[in-house]
A and B are shown apart, each in its own frame.
Chain A
Amino acid sequence: MKSRLALRAVALGYLGFLILLPVGGVFWITFRDGFMPFWESITTPEALNAFYLTVFAAVVAVVANTVFGVAAAIMLVRRRFPGKQLLSALIDLPLAVSPVVVGLALILVYGTYGWFGGWLAEQGILIIFSFPGIILATVFVSLPFVVREVVPVLREVGTEQEQAASTLGASSWQTFWRVTLPSIRPGVTYGIVLTTAKALGEFGAVSVVSGRIIGRTETLTLHVEDRFQAFDLAGAYAASVVLAVLALGTLFAMNLLKPKEEKA
């Protein structure tokens, strides 16, 4: 009994000092002088612009990675082809790459002096140090989540329902929309939540490719750093609180949607 309480105290203390106190501290510092300073900080044109860009990049990343994720998961689970294991590993690659390396990688290919960047620039398409680069970086870092969540669900659902639909006359498209997609919906939804969280919060990769032209290519996370470097601590804390609230929302959604193991 005593040792159990001791363990509990150690675990709670660790979490308290590492996570809860610092996060709580930011909220406390932000609202120490009331709500108005916070409101003024987050409604500056730069902050609002950063907020819109962040949301837009996240929406693009979620849509693109969801379509990709479902297609790739179907490939990995339902098809046979050589190199399947390798493909599965390659899809997980973004999880193992440092965000700064992601940024560098994108610059090397899509920058003005990059592999494709020169040609794109001739066509008048600027990616790096511009908004498309931010989107590309966001898509990169949040790419694996939908695939990873859908693969086990798809495997679990099995092929019988799809076969039943085909014997009842449903075409491939009809089977996909009416049978497969509804049955993998929990996995897709959970994957989207994780993708959103990653996309809203990415900093390193976006920081490298953004060029940080204030008011134009600044996401919320970049805005936090920018305010911090400009010694506008109130502004940095206010934007952080907005991001933290988004994170808490994500956390809530995760708990709500977390795939529960079926009790047999």
Chain B
Amino acid sequence: MGITVSNISKRFGDFVALDDVSLDIQNGSLTALLGPSGSGKSTLLRVIAGLENPDSGEVVISGQNKTGTPPQQRGVGFVFQHYAAFKHMTVEDNVAFGLRIRKRSKDQTREKVHELLELVHLEGFAHRYPSQLSGGQRQRMALARALAIEPEVLLLDEPFGALDASVRKDLRAWLRRLHEDMPVTTVLVTHDQEEAMEVASEIVVMNDGAIEQIGDPTEVYENPATEFVMSFIGPITRLQGAYVRPHDLRIQLEPNGKTSEARVEELLHLGFEVRVHLRLSNDEDIWAQITRDTASQLDLKNGKTVYIVTDRSRSFG
């Protein structure tokens, strides 16, 4: 059950968008496809929806092979980054669109639309046009429209990408709660690692048309499988050839067997935390992120000699 994608490849001219990608998505899970622009995550989502035809490979949704099935018959709900609101229809008509295509009775349609508008908190907006809504409201309408057809899977393509930071934060929390109430298998495409970690139960990190790692948020953060995952999921700096997260670096005033000597180059006060730029004795630059308290305890100043150490660095062969 859920979604199974096997050996999908897709090219656009010379550009390889997906290179032999296979993926299992659990029934009822909320999975994020995370990666930079051009990593193939949106293409993969569109292949699952049938909006894009793969050159090879298979898509199985809820146990049924849907590889050649047109999007009309896949039973997927798709939410677009720029909402794809039907501008000439009211909110109500937008949400009812799929039901009318399916020739549901008027009463049934009205009831379902009402229920969904309540769910997305747009009860009072039924007769407005999309142009009269804010971006966040439009995207909630688009979500209600996708949910109206009771899809087996819900696919969200950068759904919050066009919204203001604060609206984005609210909607993420709301989406997570919605998924808890209505556990339909959901796949979300995002390039924002914070968004993926906050919303998803499972993260699929993609790069250059291939999957780099699959795991829950803690796993991909704590145990990145590749150099790419480590650098994409959080900040990194390098210490003697190994990668380390800046907040996993400890600064002390006395050396011990494992420390490296360094000179403080610059201190940046970022509110609660302090970013310390250091230069190692071999002239390599490195930076650490420590709390304000630690910084003041160590009495850090430009030019001061300190000793740094970490017990969480990683190397990738």
Does A160 touch B at the CB level, under 8 Å?
A: yes
Contact for B71 among A161, A167, A178, A185, CB less than 8 A: A167
Whether B101 lies near A167 (C-beta < 8 A) is no
Contact between B149 and A183, CB atoms less than 8 A apart: no
Partner of A166, one of B72, B86, B88: B72
B51 at interface (Cβ–Cβ under 8 A)?
Answer: yes
Pick from B73-81, B179-187, B301-309 the stretch touching chain A.
B73-81
* Residue interface bits B78-100, CB-to-A below 8 A is 1, else 0: 10101011111100000001100
Quick check: which of A22-30, A39-47, A169-177, A248-256 contacts chain B, the rest being far away? A169-177
**Interface bits B39-58 vs A (CB < 8 Å: 1, else 0):** 00000000001110000000
Q: Is residue A233 within 8 Å, beta carbon to beta carbon, of the partner chain?
A: no
In the bound complex, how far is the Cα of B9 from the Cα of A157, in angstroms?
A: 30
B102 interface residue (CB < 8 Å to A): yes
Contact of A120 with B by CB under 8 A: no
Chain B residues positioned under 8 Å from A167 (CB to CB): 49-51, 71-72, 74, 76-78, 146
| A170 with B87: CB separation less than 8 A | no
Q: Does A98 contact B (CB under 8 A)?
A: no
Q: How far is the CB of A73 from chain B (nearest CB, A)?
A: 18
Q: How far is the CB of A32 from chain B (nearest CB, A)?
A: 49
A164 touches B101 (CB 8 A): no
In angstroms, Cα B71 to Cα A59, docked, is 39
A185 to B98, CA, bound (A): 22
Assess the A182–B88 pair: CB atoms within 8 A: yes
Contact indicator B84/A160 (Cβ below 8 Å): yes
**A164-B84, A174-B101 known; 8 other A-B pairs, CB under 8 Å?**
A160-B84, A164-B86, A164-B142, A165-B86, A167-B76, A167-B78, A168-B97, A179-B86
Give 22 CB contacts A-B under 8 Å. A160-B80, A160-B84, A161-B85, A161-B87, A163-B78, A163-B80, A165-B86, A166-B51, A166-B70, A167-B49, A167-B50, A167-B71, A168-B98, A168-B101, A168-B145, A168-B146, A168-B148, A168-B149, A169-B73, A170-B101, A171-B72, A183-B87
Chain A residues engaging chain B, CB cutoff 8 angstroms? 160-161, 163-171, 174, 178-179, 182-183, 185
